[in-house]
Structure 1
Amino acid sequence: MSGHTVATHLVASLAEHGVRKVFGVPSESFTTLMEALRAEPALTFVTARHEGGAAFMAEAHAAASDGVGVVLGGRAVGAANLSIGVHTARENSTPLLVLVGQMNSRHRGREGFQETDVAAFLGPVAKHAVEESDPRRVPDAVDRALQLALRGRRGPVVLSLPEDVFDHPADAAPARPATVTRPEPSAADAAALRALLSRAERPVVIAGAGVKQAGAEANLVAFSEAWQIPVVAAWRRHDVFPNDHPRYAGHLQMGTHPELVATVREADLVLALGARLNEITTQGYTAPDRRQRVVQVDVEPGQLGKTYPLVLGVHADALHTLRALGAPSAPRDPAWADQRRAAYLRVTTVEPAEHPDRVDNRQIVRALRAGLPDDAIVTNDAGNFAGWLHTFFRFPLARTYVGAASGAMGYALPAAIGAKLAEPDRTVVSVSGDGGFLMTVQELETAVRLRLSLVALVFNNNMYGSIRMHQERAYPGRVIGSDLGNPDLVGLARAFGAFGARVTADADFPAVLRTALDQPGPAVIEIVTDPEQISVWSTLTQLREGTT
């Protein structure tokens, strides 16, 4: 390894781990590392317009490619900007290597330029964070960081490296991928879970990220068919189970329809399979309630029983668990599963209609699904507009959804860029509200520069809709801070060099979507929506009158 430096070792280690894209904003703190990236043909540096956008891109690229995402930021400012992506990767359980170029070691402790303790700053939102200032130990730190990002519950690992370590000699071989073993259920746990399932009359599976990361989607389908169990998707895990399958019973989101929540509340056994049972999935920790029997299966032992008392906690990988359970010993009655599927169809089916004078968001979502190939990747932002997507859009295939369980605004557009770079031959669509879109709209330049053919839908009601909804519920008619003034979004898209179009009637949307999908570069479709229709199930007037 003669002639190699810490920087070239780091770059070679990334290449060995299958990394092909590194995202970030250039910084003087890692110019030596940038030079090593330039010289490595296997890697491409993707320049973003903000570290927060770069971190979202890296996280989504990892989610779409099932690899490790890598993002670079410089010192305190860059680290602060990308922290939102670190938090999102933690919430999404996405493997992300966060490399921060720290100030020169000899200036530490004297309030040097942009000095901060990066590990202490990002540690609370990361899976692990460390600073390594000894160049001899950096190769081991890189190896450990990559392994930690992938082992157990995946997540973001922060490695802060002072700028003066990068050009030091490094004699170690590049870090190579290690075999990541996934825990298997013990024979006793498998037998106990089989017994619980066999006795249950109304079981339900809440399927989470652990199913997706184990590659167990097909196994879950076979399990649900054999055991006649309805499956609901945890918060923003839409594609964990094919939505058109007879055993799919809905998605647990903000504002889940009561008919879908009833599938959990009426169950006599809840199997949380790779799902964290967080606040949103459980509807504020009310579904299931604490009297219901809950079984949790997770690769992270610290998750077991974290939010609910359990009748059984299984420290195991979802794929191994499903294989160990096999088929039931006797045929099972499908009536319960059929009933819950019927409830799902009843509240999420949209009959075709066209309105030449207004936008009905349900029709936009229906037409969007009809206008996209089954394997299209959809990313979405946070906001009330997402309720229509979460409720009415159907994901027939695995690995077709990339979303932020953190609820971060501004995620969708940079996430679409990351996903498109991971899957260049697939259709990619981002879905945002006007509030979230304008938080990271500068990344539209990134998409134009990279000539990425993707479509960004923007539901525009000139407000922070979810905040307005909460205001109107608590203080009807008394509004502060949630009204927005927006630029001409079509003109803005064109100023960036993207295609832009505006839809003011849902009847026009299918044709506009077809045109946008045919563009050689990015396209923005502004969808002008009625502020009165504040959410899927209520209007502003109803909130003010207290009738919802």
Structure 2
Amino acid sequence: MNMTAAQAIVECMKRETINQVFCVPGESYLPVLDALYDEPTIRVISTRHEGGAAFMAEGYAKAALKPGVVLATRGVGATNLSIGVHTAYQDSTPMVVFLGQVHSKFRGREGFQEVDLDQFFKPISKWAVEVKDPERIPEIVQRAFRIAKSGRPGPVIVSLPEDILPVEREMSFGPVIQRPKPAPSETETNQVKQLLANATSPLIIAGGGIKLAKAEELLVGFAERFTIPVMTAFRRHDVFPNNHPMYAGHLGLGTSKKILQLVQDADVILALGTRLSEVTTQDYTLINNDQKLIHIDIEHDIIGKVYPPCLGIISDLYEALEMLQRIKVMPSWSVWAGKCNATYREVSDIPPSEDDVINKHIIHMLANKLPKESLLTNDAGNFAGWLHAFYPFTEKHTYVGPTSGAMGYGMPAALGAKLAYPSKIVVSLSGDGGFMMTVQELETAVRESIPIIALVFNNNMYGTIRMHQEIHYPKRVMATDLGTVSFVDLAVSIGAVGYQVDSLSQFESALDQALMSQKPTVIEIRTDKEQISVSSTITQLRNR
């Protein structure tokens, strides 16, 4: 069919069933915006900053389990959204980024806003390409979507010189392929059986590959059948129900030493769909050479990247768990699993006391008041420690968090997640530092009628950095104190609802009203600087 290169890009989106696109508009890709004008099935969300657009697309992709799409202009827009690309890369999130580029005749002359985009993004993307022939748009864009969602998902960058977009050509489209799903061989399945047959204390570490494969129910069935305890990798809480008797905790920042000891007590570890990141493995120290590691992942580069496995299997996790369900192993590890679950409950099922800081009370209240299928997102910061330690994720698709640790992520990601699940209550948790990095997207929420609830834990400082500062340079406070911001006034000024709370009763009232509202709502929670983390105060850090 005859169409412009810009129209061909939109046609590729339609074939991939893309119905949400995030952008900051730019003159370098106006023909694409014009083509989107004629496509009623795709909603274009214009944001206030490219970083916010990329976080929204990443949060949408994590929730919807389909590629997030972002558009931005040339070097200035591209560099602004690079934080979201890096997050998608580290978090294994499918994303396709279309970037307007300077005119082909101006390339290499340091044209206006020129950056060599494919080379700029190459280290933090699965593939980065610049299209030079308009007739190849269908081939390259369809390949971009295929790469983004196949194997270990991730971001793909497509650079579009502005002169090719309005060019009309006869376009030819290929089929939309299904995501490849390799399975373990019979030999590999028998090897797993043999390793488990000789195990005394096996343990599963489950990562994002479970969610991407939609294998949550299979993982529960596998754990139940063989009574093997399950821990979740960093910020992958919702891949296994936290109230299940086989659950043994979350491996992240500030994980209890008692839970870490369980990992070290295991003799066989099944790492399922996890890259065994620095945080999950506590700075790559958690697993030792005496343990037998079975590592199953869809991406061959992941296996052996951190720890050499006793057995490495390249497989989709749904296919792997289906195969492993059929093996027959005589040992039962119910006593070991019971010990692991009891340890987890000992450190997490602690109701807040009057002496506890408001953060813990609020997490406890969220767990009791929010519907179980509600979806939570979080920003980077120490405030998230209370969420990770005390909020029970009991349903799948209820959590979206940045394993990259990017500040400014929580609220925009919540907007993307809400667009993926309009019927769910979506709550974001942020510190005042991170919230201010993308606060402008609150206006996007108002303009686009995306009703999320944004909690802001305000202690007027960059708390995580202050904690490390006090550990390494006690009392020498530098660059971590922040000024006073009225988040209520800020919210109200752009049409959102705002509350400021100092007590649990005030928070409960604000939350009740927010749950009944259909407007974006900000609840500012004023917190004490002294309680700088779940386990320590500033005074305690200084005394150490």
Give the TM-score of the pair, scaled to structure 2: 0.98
Deviation, structure 1 residue 333: 3.3
Deviations 1:288-346 (A, max 9, x none): 12332211101111111110121111111111111111253325130111001001001
Partner residue in 2 for 1:288: 287
Partner residue in 2 for 1:393: 391
Partner residue in 2 for 1:509: 507
Partner residue in 2 for 1:339: 339
1:82 aligns to 2:81 (yes or no):
yes
Deviation, structure 1 residue 210: 0.8
Deviation, structure 1 residue 81: 0.4
Partner residue in 2 for 1:455: 453
Partner residue in 2 for 1:375: 373
C-alpha separation between the residues in 1 aligned to 2:169 and 2:181? 32
Partner residue in 2 for 1:19: 18
SS in 1 for 2:135: coil
Identity %: 50
Contact 1:102 1:161 in 2 (8 A): yes
C-alpha separation between the residues in 1 aligned to 2:168 and 2:361? 61
Partner residue in 2 for 1:365: 363
Contact 1:73 1:100 in 2 (8 A): yes
C-alpha separation between the residues in 1 aligned to 2:175 and 2:425? 32
Shifted more, 255-264 versus 112-121: the winner is: 255-264
Deviations 1:494-546 (A, max 9, x none): 11211111111123322211111212210000111111111111111111011
Partner residue in 1 for 2:36: 37
Deviation, structure 1 residue 359: 4.5
Describe the shift of the 1:174–1:370 C-alpha distance in structure 2 as closer, same or farther (beyond 3 A): farther
Deviations 1:467-505 (A, max 9, x none): 011111111111111111131111111112111111111
User: What code does the residue aligned with 1:406 have?
Assistant: S
User: What code does the residue aligned with 1:330 have?
Assistant: M
Contact 2:135 2:171 in 1 (8 A): no
Describe the shift of the 1:175–1:412 C-alpha distance in structure 2 as closer, same or farther (beyond 3 A): farther
Q: Which segments of structure 1 move beyond 4 Å, counting only runs of 4 or more?
A: 352-355
Q: How does 1:98-497 map to 2 (within 5 A)?
A: 98-174=97-173, 176-326=175-325, 327-330=327-330, 332-351=332-351, 353=353, 359-497=357-495
User: What code does the residue aligned with 1:333 have?
Assistant: W
Describe the shift of the 1:175–1:17 C-alpha distance in structure 2 as closer, same or farther (beyond 3 A): farther
C-alpha separation between the residues in 2 aligned to 1:489 and 1:270? 46
Deviation, structure 1 residue 172: 2.2
C-alpha separation between the residues in 2 aligned to 1:473 and 1:352? 27
SS in 1 for 2:83: helix
SS in 1 for 2:437: coil
SS in 1 for 2:430: strand
C-alpha separation between the residues in 2 aligned to 1:247 and 1:170? 58
Contact 1:235 1:405 in 2 (8 A): yes
Partner residue in 2 for 1:64: 63
Contact 1:359 1:504 in 2 (8 A): no
C-alpha separation between the residues in 2 aligned to 1:163 and 1:318? 41
Contact 2:98 2:157 in 1 (8 A): yes
C-alpha separation between the residues in 2 aligned to 1:49 and 1:354? 42
C-alpha separation between the residues in 1 aligned to 2:494 and 2:216? 39
Contact 2:352 2:360 in 1 (8 A): no
Deviation, structure 1 residue 62: 1.1
User: What code does the residue aligned with 2:350 have?
Assistant: V
C-alpha separation between the residues in 2 aligned to 1:520 and 1:239? 26
User: What code does the residue aligned with 1:265 have?
Assistant: Q
Contact 2:61 2:67 in 1 (8 A): yes
User: What code does the residue aligned with 1:276 have?
Assistant: R
Contact 2:267 2:290 in 1 (8 A): no
User: What code does the residue aligned with 1:67 have?
Assistant: K
Contact 1:367 1:509 in 2 (8 A): no
Deviations 1:428-484 (A, max 9, x none): 000000010000000000001011211000011111111011111111111111111
User: What code does the residue aligned with 2:267 have?
Assistant: D
Deviation, structure 1 residue 353: 4.8
Size of the aligned set, in residue pairs, is 543
Partner residue in 1 for 2:541: 543
Deviation, structure 1 residue 360: 2.3
Deviations 1:84-110 (A, max 9, x none): 000011111111000001011111111
Deviation, structure 1 residue 174: 4.2
SS in 2 for 1:303: coil
Describe the shift of the 1:429–1:58 C-alpha distance in structure 2 as closer, same or farther (beyond 3 A): same
C-alpha separation between the residues in 2 aligned to 1:229 and 1:237? 18
Deviations 1:178-220 (A, max 9, x none): 1222111111111101111121111111000111111111000
Contact 2:69 2:95 in 1 (8 A): yes
Describe the shift of the 1:308–1:440 C-alpha distance in structure 2 as closer, same or farther (beyond 3 A): same
Partner residue in 1 for 2:523: 525
Contact 1:453 1:517 in 2 (8 A): no
User: What code does the residue aligned with 1:462 have?
Assistant: N
C-alpha separation between the residues in 1 aligned to 2:423 and 2:29? 33
Contact 2:432 2:457 in 1 (8 A): yes
Contact 1:12 1:174 in 2 (8 A): no
Shifted more, 377-386 versus 475-484: the winner is: 475-484
SS in 2 for 1:218: helix
User: What code does the residue aligned with 1:339 have?
Assistant: K
C-alpha separation between the residues in 1 aligned to 2:113 and 2:67? 28
Deviations 1:381-414 (A, max 9, x none): 0000000001101111111111111000000110
Contact 1:52 1:83 in 2 (8 A): yes
C-alpha separation between the residues in 2 aligned to 1:384 and 1:62? 25
User: What code does the residue aligned with 2:298 have?
Assistant: V
C-alpha separation between the residues in 2 aligned to 1:541 and 1:352? 22
Give the RMSD, CA atoms, in angstroms: 1.3
Contact 1:99 1:158 in 2 (8 A): yes
Which consecutive residues of structure 2, in runs of 5 or more, have no partner in the other structure? none
C-alpha separation between the residues in 2 aligned to 1:363 and 1:542? 22
Contact 1:209 1:237 in 2 (8 A): yes
Contact 1:354 1:363 in 2 (8 A): no
Deviation, structure 1 residue 170: 3.2
C-alpha separation between the residues in 1 aligned to 2:441 and 2:123? 27
Which consecutive residues of structure 1, in runs of 5 or more, have no partner in the other structure? none
Deviations 1:217-265 (A, max 9, x none): 1000000011111100001101010011011111111111111111211
Partner residue in 1 for 2:51: 52
